[in-house]
Amino acid sequence: MHKRSRWLGGLILLGLAATLTFFRIPLASSQGLTLRSAPVTGALPVSDPGSALWLEATAIEVPLSAQNVTRPMLPDTRVKTVTARALHTDSQLAIMVEWADETHDDSMIRVQDFRDAVALQFPLAAGQPFFCMGQQGGNVNIWHWKADWQADIAARADMNTLYPSMHVDQYPFTAAVDPLAVAPADYVDPNYLPALASGNLFASATRASPVEDLIAGGFGSLTAQAAEGQNVQGYGAWADGAWRVIFARDLTSSEAEDVTFAAGQVYSMSFAAWDGANGERNGQKSTSQWVGLQLGAQTDGAAQPDQPRPSQSSAAAPSDPLGMLYVFGPMVLVAGLIMALAGGALALSALLRPKDRP
């Protein structure tokens, strides 16, 4: 009787794991969250985090955890949660992300300096690919705001920003009169800034937006869209130990690499954040799982009723075997392990029993 109940317990666990997998019932706490974008009229406050309009949007708290699937990893990332709000008009969407960060890291000049940053991620096809950078055949569109790019818009930082007492006789192949003030734009031959010559946006002489528009289809595949395809605007400001960063883009885009939005529809999105002071960059980051993004219909003037699992209501069924493997594989493994342990314990007790009763 005793033995049978243990086996039964193991089977129940395995069954539970299989059921969860089959019905795609998520265990992570951020799943089931929905960011409801409030429809507004007039101009969106795309560069004003303090605008009263943001109060019309319902804020959600999105829990973040350290990326722990691929190397490099940093188990103790610092951003544990972000607060998100969204507003839209009939032509534009704006999302504001806030998070606590005691240090204001907006420089990338010195070798040991890393920037604060935040990113939004949207699947490019119906369903949900792997929540971290998408997967092969499941591309994602990523909007990546960078604190140093934000600072660059006011004044592009360079070596003399960090080293005001530096001296240099000359930089060849530049047209500048004052060598200390040489900027990438002053190079008559950009080959001496090979990243600039190869079209790398990081080396751009000027920046129109602090947000980079990218595409990814799995770890290591992150690729910036072409300069002419950079169409996400943004603004970020740090005050009193917190960042408030706004992303804004037209609801529609003609580019295949861009997500598009329509009022009344539900989308998936996820968040990632980096604390530069902690050396966070690349996959050494805090990330959320998929949450819903719902654009309230313009006619209502108010948010749509609750939908507990927004991603389920989208028309196409998700088909992401790799993502499912990452999320549910460990559960099946744990169930298997418990069964093996239970079996081992049973075998041990069976072995020991005769000795107890000589």
Nearest to other proteins of 187, 243 (CB atom): 187
| Residue 330 interacts with other proteins (CB under 8 A): yes or no | no
Which tokens in the block code for residue 158? 């360079």
Would you give the binding string for other proteins spanning residues 4-43, x where CB under 8 A is met? Answer: ----------------------------------------
3-class state of residue 333 by DSSP:
helix
**Residues 217, 143: contact at Cβ < 8 Å?**
no
Interface region with other proteins, contact rule CB under 8 A, candidates 6-14, 68-76, 287-295, 348-356: 68-76
Which is closer to other proteins, CB of 200 or CB of 252? 200
Q: Cβ closer to other proteins: 43 or 162?
A: 162
- Identify the bridge partners of residue 63 per DSSP, sorted by sequence position: 81
Cβ(150)–Cβ(106) under 8 Å?
Answer: yes
Spatial distance between the Cα atoms of 122 and 24, rounded to a whole number of angstroms: 19
Burial (CB < 10 A; 0-12, 13-18, 19+), residue 186, is middle
Phi, psi of 128 (to 5 degrees): -125, 110
In the bound complex, what is the minimum distance in angstroms from residue 112's beta carbon to other proteins? 4
**Interface mask toward other proteins for 168-197; x: CB under 8 A:** x--xxxx-------xxx--x----xxxxxx
Contact 36, 86 (CB under 8 A): yes
Task: Please identify, using beta-carbon distances, which residue of 223 and 349 lies nearer to other proteins.
Answer: 223
Give 284's contacts (C-beta < 8 A, 6+ positions apart). 67, 72, 73, 74, 77, 274
Count of residues touching other proteins (by CB under 8 A)? 45
Residue 344: what are its φ and ψ, rounded to 5°?
-60, -45
By CB under 8 A, tell whether 82 contacts other proteins.
no
Taken as a whole, the chain contains a residue count of 358
Residue 109 interacts with other proteins (CB under 8 A): yes or no = yes
**Is 164 a residue that touches other proteins (CB under 8 A)?**
no
Task: From residue 170, give the alpha-carbon distance in Å to each of 50, 109, 179.
Answer: 45, 20, 5
Stretch of 34-42, 71-79, 90-98, 230-238 contacting other proteins, by CB under 8 A: 71-79
Angle, in degrees to the nearest 10, between helices 321-356 and 2-23: 180
Query: Within a 13 Å sphere around the CA of 310, how many CA atoms are in the beta-carbon half?
Result: 23
For residues 53 and 88, is the Cβ–Cβ distance under 8 A?
Answer: no
Residue 50's nearest CA partner among 295, 231, 235 is 235
Residue type, 192: Y
Interface residue with other proteins among 72, 164, 354, 358 (CB under 8 A) is 72
Annotate each residue in 193-232 with x if it binds other proteins (CB under 8 A) or - if it does not, as one string: xxxxxxxx-xx---------------xxxxx---------
**110 near other proteins (CB under 8 A):** yes
* Pair type for strands 140-146 and 266-274: unpaired
Which of the residues 265 through 304 are near other proteins (CB under 8 A)?
279, 281-283
Span near other proteins by CB under 8 A; candidates 54-62, 110-118, 287-295, 305-313: 110-118
Query: Among residues 167 and 355, whose Cβ is nearest to other proteins?
Result: 167
Minimal distance, residue 193 CB to other proteins, in Å: 5
Residue of 12, 27, 73, 333 interacting with other proteins (CB under 8 A): 73
Whole-angstrom distance, CA of residue 203 vs CA of residue 200? 6
Q: For other proteins, give the closer residue by CB, 45 or 283.
A: 283
Does 159 bind other proteins (CB under 8 A)? Our answer is yes
Q: Which is nearer to other proteins, 21 or 173 (CB)?
A: 173
Binding region for other proteins (CB under 8 A): 70-75, 108-112, 148, 158-159, 162, 166, 168, 171-174, 182-184, 187, 192-200, 202-203, 219-223, 279, 281-283
